[in-house]
Amino acid sequence: MAMTLRLTDEQDAALTQLASAQGISKNEAAARAIQRQLEESEQERDFVAALDDTIGRYPSTIRRLGE
């Protein structure tokens, strides 16, 4: 699916530099950046879920660690 991405001059320059450094097109650099952000968000959600689970399982231990 094609779309237009509106960037500031600074964002466009940064995207151009990123693409050039990696030897890829600006389109590919933008697509990879989006994918990387999605993966980081997923990892953060997984971490928070695991942390919530641990806190729920071991509340007294967590309290003692905080003392």
**Token pair recorded at residue 23:** 């030897």
Predicted structure pTM score: 0.70
**Token pair recorded at residue 12:** 């466009």
For the chain, what are the domain ranges? 25-67
Mean pLDDT computed over 18-31: 98
pLDDT value of residue 67: 85
pLDDT value of residue 1: 84
pLDDT tens-digit map of 32-53: 999 999 999 999 999 999 999 9
pLDDT value of residue 45: 96
- Give the C-alpha separation, 45 to 38, whole Å: 11
Residue 62 in this model has a pLDDT that exceeds 90: no
Q: DSSP characters for 9-45?
A: HHHHHHHHHHHHHHTS-HHHHHHHHHHHHHHHHHHHH
Mean pLDDT computed over 3-31: 97
Cα dist. 31→1, 21, 28, 48, 61 in Å? 12, 15, 5, 26, 43
